[in-house]
Structure 1
Amino acid sequence: MRSAPAAPLLPRRSKTADPEGRRTEERRTDVVLRPAAVAMAFIAPEQPHEPIAVPGVALAADDVLVAIEMSTICGSDVHTVHGRRSAPAPLVLGHESVGRVIAIGSAGVDAADGTPVRIGDRVVWSVTVSCGRCDRCTTGLTQKCRELGKYGHERIAPHRELTGGFASHAQLRRGTTIVRVPETLPAAVLAPASCATATAWAAVQRGAAGRDLSGMRVRVYGAGLVGLSAAAIAESQGAIVDVADPNPLRRAAAERFGAVSAEAIPAAVHPETVHPETVHPEPEIVIEASGHAVAQAAADVAVGGTVVLVGSVFPADPVPLDAESLVRRMITITGIHNYTGADLADAVSFLAVRGRAYPFAEVVGTVHPLVDLDAALRAASAPDAPLRVGIIPR
């Protein structure tokens, strides 16, 4: 499946609303795609995806059209296709992608660095779309915008089919953070930046709270890609990191992402692998990236420490907490869900420089063509699945 360059036609005018709700005219640009773009529509759990041909798009004045180079399958995509996560079907899943700009609306758009996006730019983009005006956006919670949109999470609508990563193209709209990425970094490194790496960056920064991490002890629960990325980010900033995970292969992988020996993981997690004399002192920061060790994370952290919850993004039983212990130890417990545009830009900068010291290029185990999306999702659902499975349009 090959996509030809977009062929812009004459702009047309359409009605829209300005921030005050007044009706205004907006220039839209019709872009014909030959051959047509293809999007894979999720219809219902455990059902095959259905391909949708999209012969063209109407770009709003500040829209950007991207030809996708690679997308990767996130755990949330797997949960959705197996019915463990609700979704407004039909929709195009996928929110971890890298691609190249092939068309831009008439008004133009700025990238995260403040310079104009150009045709030919290689980019990643935020999973969230934020208004930038509401009380949450203006106080820095753009990922919780009151008018929030999310790529890979929205129902297909007329002229709004290219809204997820499991497609040949993506139509990016106003309020999306767009970050240019180096030509020299592999797509397998860059695609997950839009979810796992940026989320991990946000978690580490929330835990650090402006402090220098040099010599600080950090514990990460969960050696999925978010946990491993958090380990690498923290270690690159001078922290001493250990990673807890029940899977011995994942624990071994953690060592390559900057964590100490798996034998130093707390005995409460997997006592069969631990010698008491090797257990680390209490960590000042604990990042819970698994969703299964919240109580343990709160019990582990040192006096005055911070627990960052990032893995609890699925329904689970309530977690009992010893409130007296939290008060007496003066513990901070905070949560991170998604990330800001600045986090995504910083995550890309990390991957481009210090991140090259870690094996991010190896996290994508297999790559499938877009037409074989269902087979790729089966591979991502297997017990021995790689950290990521890749999808390429061609």
Structure 2
Amino acid sequence: MRNLNVQSSTLKIDRNEDLAHAMVFTGPNTPFELKDSFLPILQEEEVLVKIEYTTICTSDLHTYFGRRTSPMPSILGHEIMGTIEAIGSGGKRDYSGKLLTIGDRITWMVYAFDPCCDNAQKGYPQKSENLYKYGHQKISENDMLNGGFASHCHLKKGTELFLLSNEISNPIAAPINCTHATISGVIRISAKNPVNKTCLVVGAGMLGLSACAQLKTLGASKIIVMDIDASRLTYAKKFGATHAVLLDQSTGKITVGAEHFQDIDLAIETSGNPKTIELTLSGLAIGGVLTLVGSIFKQDDISINAENIVRNLLTIRGLHNYIPEDLKNAIDFIEKHHSAYPFQELVGAEFQLEDLTQAFEYANRSEVFRVGITQNSNSSSFNI
């Protein structure tokens, strides 16, 4: 790559001495490639972040192991947090309007968008034209640092940034801008105040556990979790679940807890399994709301009865990604309640960035909720 000499309004970096490095995804089931690059020339409202921590999201695993398609070559990883290393001319303010400075600890939206585009004006910024998604962009010589599995991330204009409290550890902070923000968005669009309501969470993975905790803090009286793994159902009680429903994986039928599967006011479906979605609909109360969040891969059609939807006043919603308000609410939730639930436990192993291939292999075969990727060269390369 050519030598890029850059100067921001707040920090000067000698690009001959200061290189970034990244683990590049070149194809499914192919070892990541370590590549160096010069740090970018920052334009107005752009920010260069030194990445502190990234967690491997389930969608990263789907991409790496060929279960979903993604541009290549690319730098995967979008559950990221870090500290500001440089700011483009004109400065940058966070979502609340505070002027940011070098060294601020931040997270950011998983995408950059144009607030003036049609979909953003309609309230759907995550579906804006020319959306720029971190961890999902093809890299090039002029656009290299756009994912989480790297030493730095180049944040574009149109990216909302959020300050993070130093009281939140890196493993807790990294998933906020994906998992917790998504669930915050689900609760927002469901238009159903969970206070004293019966709620169902389908899937006791990372999304499901976050849903349990957020619903609990919002006053839900009954939080039912449904999954095919009995151990995960038990673990979900640490995050506020009050009842468990166990499914048989081969038949998709309830084997334990059927008595709880009724009169559901709000259902959050994170598994994406078509048969489970149909089952969930059958348990909704009059006026019940089902919000789908896990159906992000190709799948069979589902069968619904329109008369049942009409006569029982049911609502079916879908959410893909989230809006800035959702990330703000997720950060507020974690800052207030991170010690009330064992979020720290959800990162079951840590690897160094250069060991990313081994980290993905471990994450795919293990039962941990998240694997963390650290930039700390003083830590051991693998902790569990």
TM-score by length of structure 2 reads 0.91
Contact 1:310–1:335 (Cα < 8 Å) also in 2: yes
Q: Distance in 2 between matches of 1:317 and 1:177?
A: 35
Counterpart code for 1:289: T
Of residues 261, 265, 271, the one that matches 2:243 is 261
Task: Output the amino acid matched with 1:41.
Answer: V
> What amino acid sits opposite 1:238 in the alignment?
G
Q: For residue 379 of structure 2, what is the aligned residue in structure 1? A: none
Cα distance in 2 for partners of 1:73, 1:226 equals: 13
Note if contact 2:293-2:318 (Cα within 8 Å) is conserved in structure 1.
Answer: yes
Preserved CA contact (<8 Å) 1:72 1:97: yes
Counterpart residue number, 2:199: 218
Q: C-alpha distance in 2, partners of 1:377/1:238?
A: 37
Match of residue 269 from structure 2: 288
Task: Indicate if the aligned counterparts of 2:51 and 2:152 stay in contact, CA closer than 8 A.
Answer: yes
Q: Distance in 1 between matches of 2:33 and 2:327?
A: 31
Alignment of 1:264-279 (within 5 A): 271-274=254-257, 278-279=259-260
Q: What is the deviation of 1:169? A: 0.7
Q: Which residue of 2 aligns with 1:156?
A: 139
Q: Which amino acid aligns with 2:218?
A: Q
For the structure 1 residues 301 and 266, does the alpha-carbon distance in structure 2 shift closer, same or farther, using more than 3 Å as the test?
A: farther
Is 1:335 the counterpart of 2:327? The answer is no
Match of 1:175 among 147, 158, 164: 158
Deviation at 1:354, TM superposition (A): 2.6
Deviation at 1:393, TM superposition (A): 2.1
After superposition, the Cα gap between the structure-2 partners of 1:61 and 1:313, relative to the gap in structure 1 and judged at 3 Å, is same
Q: Distance in 1 between matches of 2:86 and 2:41?
A: 11
Summarize deviations over 1:160-188 as a string: whole Å, max 9, x none. Answer: 11100000110101111111011011111
The separation in 2 between residues aligned to 1:55 and 1:128, in whole angstroms, is: 23
Letter in 2 for 1:339: Y
User: 1:356-367 alignment to 2 at 5 Å?
Assistant: 356-367=339-350
Confirm or deny that 1:204 pairs with 2:187: yes
1:52 and 2:35 aligned: yes
Q: Paired residue for 1:141?
A: 124
CA-to-aligned-CA distance 1:361-384 (integer Å, 9 cap, x gap): 1110000000000000001101x3
| Residue of structure 1 aligned with 2:149, choices 148, 161, 166 | 166
Match of 1:324 among 297, 307, 332: 307
Residues 200, 10 of structure 1: alpha-carbon distance in 2 compared, 3 angstrom cutoff:
closer
User: What code does the residue aligned with 1:217 have?
Assistant: T
**SS of residue matched to 1:229:** helix
Amino acid at match of 2:227: D
Structure 1, gaps ≥5 residues long: 1-6, 12-26
8 A Cα contact 1:29 1:60, kept in partner: no
Q: Could you say which residue in structure 1 is the equivalent of 2:370? A: 388
Distance 1:10-1:93 versus aligned 2 partners, 3 A rule: closer
Counterpart in 1 of 2:381?
none
CA-based RMSD: 2.1
Identity among equivalent positions (%) equals: 36
Instruction: Please say if residues 6 and 41 of structure 2, whose CA atoms lie closer than 8 Å, have aligned partners that are also in contact.
Output: no
State the 4+ residue runs in structure 1 displaced beyond 2 angstroms. 7-11, 27-35, 264-274
2:350 pairs with 1:372: no
Cα deviations across residues 224-264 of structure 1 (Å, max 9, x unaligned)? Answer: 111110111011100021110111121112111100132x5
Residue 182 to residue 88, structure 1, CA distance change in 2 (3 Å): same
Structure 1 contact 68–98 (Cα < 8 Å) conserved: yes
Distance in 2, matches of 1:134 and 1:337, equals 18
The answer as to whether partners of 2:112 and 2:133 remain within 8 angstroms in 1 is yes
> 1:30–1:59: 8 Å Cα contact kept in structure 2?
no
Q: Quote how far apart the aligned CAs of 1:107 are.
A: 1.4
Aligned residue among 93, 118, 123 for 2:76: 93
- The letter of the residue matching 2:350 is V
Summarize the Cα distance change of 1:196–1:46 in structure 2 as closer, same or farther, 3 Å threshold: same
Q: Residue in 1 aligned with 2:227? A: 245
Which SS does the other structure have where 1:192 is aligned? Answer: helix
Q: Deviations over 1:104-160 (max 9, x none)?
A: 001111101111121111001111111111111112101111121100000002221
CA contact 1:28–1:61 (8 Å) conserved in 2 = no
- Given that 1:31 and 1:57 are in contact with CA atoms closer than 8 Å, whether structure 2 keeps it comes out as no
Q: Aligned pair in 2 of structure 1 residues 265, 44: CA closer, same or farther (>3 Å)? A: closer
Whichever residue aligns with residue 194 of structure 2, its letter is L
Distance 2:29 2:149 in 1: 17
Compared CA separation, residues 201 and 259, structure 1 to 2 (3 A): same
Q: Letter of the aligned partner of 2:241 in structure 1?
A: A
Structure-1 residue corresponding to 2:174: 191
SS at match of 1:98: strand
Distance change >3 Å, CA 134–CA 282, structure 1 → 2: same
Q: Which residues of structure 2 form unaligned runs of 5+?
A: 377-384
Instruction: Determine if contact 1:219/1:285 at 8 Å carries over to the other structure.
Output: yes
Please state how far the C-alpha of 1:281 moved relative to its aligned partner: 4.0
Shift of 1:294: 1.3
- Aligned equivalent of 1:21: none
Between the aligned partners of 2:346 and 2:136, the Cα distance in structure 1 is: 24
Q: How many residues align?
A: 367
SS of 1:176's partner is coil
